[in-house]
Amino acid sequence: MLTLAGFSKQYLYGASLFGGVDATFRDGEIVALTGGAGSGKTSFLKAVAGASDAEGRVLLDGQKIERKTDKVIMVFDDGAVFGMKTVFDNLAYPLKLRGVPAAEAAAAVVAAAEEMGIGACLNMRARRLDAADRRRMSLARLLVRPARLCLVDEPTKGLEKEDAEEVFRDFASAARRLAAGGATVIYSTSSREEAMAASDRIGVLVRGELKQLGSVAEMRKSPESVWAAEFVEPCYNVAKATLSCENGHMKLVFGENDEMCADALKGRVAAGYIGREVLVGWFPEDTAKEEPDCERMAKTAYAVGDKFGFVLRTEDGFSQRSDMKGERVCIRPDIERATLFDSTNEFSIMLPEGAAEEGE
């Protein structure tokens, strides 16, 4: 089990990443770190692996991770390839360093290469491989020796779409086998599809801040930030409103003559937000049911079909899920299923179930 306590990274020029993460990664679990360029994915993995310094505690099975420990394997996005060496020699190198007998090392290399689909390339020089097979060779390093923690940075970075899909399928299969053997696997990706395809949980990173770590179902039920909600559903709706309470009744004021009763949120919102602007978020399927001529309806600009029906979208970016194409979209939520966020930092201000604050 991997445990992070107060985990952060401080740079000499003053930048600080991750903000003191407390998290546990279970044995046999696959976790995806997702975010755009500069979000901190590579820095996170390197700091966990001990390849760069970090604040706080990073414990593997209760022990501090030492540099170059055999318990950890990290595959970097650059592949760290010895171009003039053969594929066999590239894969055998870490085993040779550890004094593994030649016959045992050869068997491990052949098995890893076959599993990653490059068994026929073992005698080729690495520099002659195409980009996809070079990446497969790098990923095969996960399989040549056992480890408790496997860290993979961008398994398909730089590959064309078709190659990326094939390589990711090979990686995902290998990751599941490693997890089945008890290893913890953490991989980074900028692809939403890759993050959701192979992971048990997902960590959403934005500008060096972990916005949420959880399963897709957890993020959908209780998004901890607008960023996490938008990862789960790119068509997530967000609108500004003022939260107020008059005569014991809560309401959301979206604009002049546009108020919604918000009594369903009583006892579910953190203290200190009455009278303040908040962000109201909801998924397309959680849109209010209004009459077609209601002022809270807007004209559909376009509709996108999928296996569940259609997502109708307005010019202003509001979305509603529907069984059929429609000409109008409701631009307000079913208040019972809405989430309120701080308008400054975009983190959820909803209380955990069982707690009670604002409006009680």
The residue count of the chain comes to 360
Question: How many other C-beta atoms can be found within 10 angstroms of the C-beta atom of residue 67?
Answer: 8
Q: What is the mean pLDDT of residues 267-281?
A: 96
pLDDT at 82: 84
Q: pLDDT: is 81 or 183 the higher one?
A: 183
pLDDT at 80: 65
For the segment 333-360, what is each residue's pLDDT rounded down to a tens digit?
999 999 999 999 999 999 987 665 665 5
> Which range among 25-29, 78-82, 149-153, 176-180 shows the weakest confidence by mean pLDDT?
78-82
Candidates 205, 204, 189, 185; CA nearest to 26 is 185
pLDDT at 356: 58
Q: How confident is the model at residue 169 (pLDDT cuts 50, 70, 90)?
A: very high
Task: Specify the DSSP element, H or E, that contains 244.
Answer: strand 237-246
Calpha distance 11→100 (Å, rounded)? 38
Calpha distance 304→311 (Å, rounded)? 5
Q: Which domains does the chain have, with CATH numbers?
A: 2-214 (3.40.50.300), 235-342 (no CATH)
Candidates 92, 93, 124; CA nearest to 107 is 92
Q: How confident is the model at residue 160 (pLDDT cuts 50, 70, 90)?
A: very high
For the segment 185-244, what is each residue's pLDDT rounded down to a tens digit?
999 999 999 999 999 999 999 999 999 999 999 999 999 999 999 999 999 999 999 999
pLDDT at 360: 57
% residues pLDDT > 70 (the chain): 96
> Which range among 141-150, 266-275, 301-310 shows the weakest confidence by mean pLDDT?
301-310
One DSSP character per residue, 3-50 reads EEEEEEEE-TTS-EEEEEEEEEE-TT-EEEEE--TTSSHHHHHHHHHT
Q: What is the mean pLDDT of residues 101-115?
A: 97
% residues pLDDT > 90 (the chain): 81
Q: How confident is the model at residue 328 (pLDDT cuts 50, 70, 90)?
A: very high
For the segment 38-88, what is each residue's pLDDT rounded down to a tens digit?
899 999 999 999 888 889 999 999 999 887 788 999 998 766 678 889 999
Q: What is the mean pLDDT of residues 24-48?
A: 95
What pTM, to 2 d.p., does this model score? 0.92
Tokens standing for 333? Answer: 């939520």
Angle at 84 between CA 79 and CA 87, to 5 degrees: 60
Q: Say whether pLDDT at 289 is over 90.
A: no
pLDDT at 44: 95
Q: What is the mean pLDDT of residues 146-157?
A: 95
The position carrying tokens 């602007």 is 277
pLDDT at 307: 82
Q: What is the mean pLDDT of residues 319-341?
A: 93
Backbone angles phi, psi at 104, to 5 degrees: -65, -40
One DSSP character per residue, 102-150 reads HHHHHHHHHHHHHHTT-GGGTTSBGGGS-HHHHHHHHHHHHHHS--SEE
